[in-house]
Structures are given as C-alpha cells and as structure tokens.
Amino acid sequence: MKFDVLTLFPEMFEALNHSILKKAQEKNIIQINVTNIRDFAYNKHKKVDDYPYGGGAGMVMQPEPIYNAVDYIVEKYGYKPYTVIMSPRGKRFEQRDAKRLVEKEHILMICGHYEGIDERVLNIVDEEISIGDFVLTGGEIASMAIIDCISRLVPGVLQKQQSYEDESFYDGLLEYPQYTRPEEFRGMRVPEVLLSGHHENIRKWRKYQSLKITYERRPDLLKNKTLTKEEQEMLNDIIKQNMSLK
C-alpha cells in the first residue's frame, strides 16, 4: 500500500515514523511519501495563498501550486493515484471507508490549510473526506488518522488478522471489555468466564458485551448492523435487562 501526501507542513508526518507504522514501512509493506506543496510555488517568495475573491477573512490556497504538485506525482509514477482531499465538506470517514480505500493500493492525499483551497482543485480530486463535524487548522492531522486507519488493514501490518477484526467498528459494533494481569486489582476482579479457558463461553461473553456496550453508548450503530440470530437474541435480552432497570 502506498500513500503520497501533499502538504505545507511535511514535518508533521514524522509522527507516522513510530510504532506499528514504522515497522510496516521498514518491511516495505506500506510506503508513506510526503511532498511539500510550497516547492511547487514558482514565484519569488514561494507564495501559496492569496486573498479570496469577493472578500472575507483569511487566505485561500491557490490552485497552481497544488496542480503543479499533482502533475509531479503523476509524472513520477506514470499514473494518477486515487486522490482525496481533507475537507469539512466531505463525507464523514468511517471504518467501512477504510475497508474500501485499502483496495486502492495507492492514495494521494491533499491537505488544505488557511481558510480553504481554491474550488478548482476539486476538479482533480476523486473524493472529499472529513473525520468529523469539527474544524482543524489544516488537513494534516486528519490525513494522518486516515493513513493509520487504512494501514492497519493492509495484510502484514498487524501480526494477526484478528487484531483488527475484533476492534471497535470493524464489524459495526463497539469492542468488548479487555483485561490483563493481575486477576485482581484494588478489589476489581477479571470476569470469571475469561479465566475459564472455555473458548465458546468466552466468545459468547465477548459478543454479548460488545452488543451491550454498543446498545448503551452508540445505539445508532445498530441501525446499520445486520444481526445474526444469536446476536438478535442477545440484544433482545440486553434490551429487556435495561428496561427492567428503569
């Protein structure tokens, strides 16, 4: 999997050179290449922004340096990667989008800054993406979050496929509770079922807890989840238990 990033602040992406992503890059499982948009501002002062037509606060990134940078990427590889731009107007990114985008193999990410990007840049973009209904200073943090999320799905990045399949959102539910040693800590014990060694009972307990946590904290996720017969029976019991407590 390959990522190319166009940004005004390439130094921010040093954060991706640690932990799991560092190991994945060392093994050449993923590649993360960062290009400074300012290098493609062909003017005396490397200016990349200007005042917005029609007036308004702040500055807007000019289209020319971004187009020049994309042209450089296309010339470098001989093709145009699937291109996304970080934007509060974009579709909100979810785990299912990571599953979809990991199939692209090569993604070019454009990070905006200042008050926005000239609208004409969207003519060379395949998709606008947002990570939530809030405003960031630029697209760098958002793009790093997306790179991290997608990379975890690339075969070989994590040691076991189950490492991400059991995580929150992968199957549309929040993750079940996790415990480690010691068995008892300040009067709080690990649930007995997890100490039993009975794999089927552990599986059922985890599924039940996952459904319970999702129902109590993010019931909206259940609207898009197709439940198995076992899951529906568990959910019915959870609803019944919650009703009895009211």
pLDDT digits (tens, 9 = 90+) for 233-242: 999 999 999 9
**Numbered residues of the known binding site:** 112, 131-136
In this predicted structure, what is the pLDDT of residue 115?
79
In this predicted structure, what is the pLDDT of residue 107?
98
In this predicted structure, what is the pLDDT of residue 244?
87
Tokens of 109: 């990410």
What tens digit of pLDDT does each residue of 160-184 get?
Answer: 754 555 555 667 899 999 999 999 9
In this predicted structure, what is the pLDDT of residue 57?
84
What is the mean pLDDT of each successive set of 10 residues along the chain, which is 246 residues long? 98 96 97 98 92 90 97 98 94 95 98 90 97 93 98 91 55 90 94 96 96 95 93 97 86
Tokens of 193: 């079922």
Q: What is the DSSP letter of 117?
A: B
With H, G, I as helix, E, B as strand and everything else as coil, classify residue 19: helix
In this predicted structure, what is the pLDDT of residue 38?
97
**Numbered residues of the known binding site for S-adenosyl-L-methionine:** 112, 131-136
What tens digit of pLDDT does each residue of 198-241 get?
Answer: 999 999 999 999 999 999 999 999 998 999 999 999 999 999 99
CA dihedral (155, 202, 186, 216) positive or negative: positive
Question: What domains are there in the chain, each with its CATH number?
Answer: 2-151 (3.40.1280.10), 172-244 (1.10.1270.20)
Report which residue type is found at 166.
Answer: D
In this predicted structure, what is the pLDDT of residue 162?
44
The full DSSP string for 31-47 is EEEEEEGGGG--STT--
CA atoms within 13 A on the CB side of 128: 13
Distance, CA of 192 to CA of 183 (rounded, Å): 9
With H, G, I as helix, E, B as strand and everything else as coil, classify residue 28: coil
